[in-house]
Homo-oligomer: A and B are copies of this chain.
């Protein structure tokens, strides 16, 4: 793979992430695909850690995804093994065996059950995973586990990503302060070949797996499920929410407990920030686009309208060219199958109302809109005039860079 220039939308630096009680990291280089960089990550979680998972809905999902989905039901986790460069997808029975062997080797090294080892692979589809290269690397990783290695871990799982992605908040649970920190990789929603999305959100709070599941589903709907680069869903997407139970706070019985209000809000913030980072590193991205939809029949309808706009190649190419082509937003609203009232539709670019009452507003001046579109961050507001459903969706523009990255030969 050719290296791509760092996205102009990347944050200035990786955030400061202090050590989290109960979490240690190690990374290494198997050499299976990349030269001169780490491509294998091990995260160890303290005994008693709990987990919830959200995975791709693809009917072609990979053996690692099936493994995570199955064992997330137990709700117990002791380790995450992630590798970059090979997705171990569509690899037949050898793919399942590779997962089994990776889990078994990790369990032996860490003294846990293999069902407590979660596995995520990202990279090319259809090429057998050289699992022996992972097995050979794992002992050294297990010996080198350290607490303060977030950035190294976030870098080891990158594929076409141009920068490592992480976010952190502290939250109060009653009188106690806990930490929520996450990192992810993904250069879109998105590509099965070198751009799957993996995300790990960790907290030192003590939360039952049932609570984690509810929190993760709600946060995913507001974050990763409201973000798109190209509408191509990976076979390998996995988001894990893990709690190490090291913090001391009141016992939590249900996700809806009032004592969890701040935690819920901060978890949403972490996951939204991570989702935005993925859109900002979308393949070829030059502009970050926020689409606020209101007036829809329901919140889900609003999100589907937002995704129709965010996935439209015509909207995305227009924005790449800083063209205030609002007619394409009309088109995208029209095509998506959700209720919308043409004569109540309101479209704003950069806060400037362009279209309302079924036509371009009288005296519309494109100058401030053109200035807004010339920037790196574009905001589109759409009210479809039929109800109270609202949602926000994030995406990036569609540029020559996307064609270059995805039209380059695999080898």
Contact = CB atoms under 8 A, between A and B. Distances in A.
A285 interface: no
Interface in A333-380: 333-335, 337-340, 342, 345, 355, 357-360
Interface in A367-411: 398-400, 402-403, 406-410
Interface in A293-330: 311-314, 317-318, 320-321, 323, 325-328, 330
Interface stretch (A17-25, A46-54, A90-98, A106-114): A90-98
A358 B403 CA distance: 29
**Which of A125, A339, A410 is packed against the most chain B CB atoms within 10 Å?**
A125
A405 to B, nearest CB: 8
The contact size tier of chain A is 35 or more
Nearest to A324: B410
A28 interface: no
Copies of this chain: 2
A202 interface: no
Nearest to A359: B92
Given A232-B313, A410-B323, A330 B403 contact: no
Contact of A339 (B59, B125, B342): B59
B92 A58 contact: no
Nearest to A93: B358
Contact of A325 (B92, B193, B360): B193
A241 interface: no
A6 interface: no
A159 B78 CA distance: 60
B409 A321 contact: yes
A231 interface: yes
Given A193-B328, A312-B232, A314-B191, A407 B321 contact: yes
Interface string A75-105: 0000000000001011111110000000000
A64 interface: no
Contacts of A182: none
Interface of A: 56-61, 87, 89-95, 124-128, 191-193, 230-235, 311-314, 317-318, 320-321, 323, 325-328, 330-335, 337-340, 342, 345, 355, 357-360, 398-400, 402-403, 406-410
Given A58-B335, A126-B355, A232-B312, 15 more contacts: A59-B339, A60-B334, A60-B340, A60-B345, A90-B360, A92-B359, A125-B331, A126-B359, A191-B314, A232-B332, A232-B335, A235-B330, A317-B407, A320-B407, A399-B403
B407 A342 contact: no
27 contacts: A57-B337, A59-B334, A59-B338, A60-B342, A90-B330, A91-B359, A92-B359, A95-B358, A126-B330, A126-B360, A128-B359, A192-B331, A193-B318, A230-B314, A232-B328, A234-B331, A313-B398, A313-B406, A317-B403, A320-B403, A321-B406, A321-B409, A323-B407, A323-B409, A398-B403, A399-B407, A403-B403
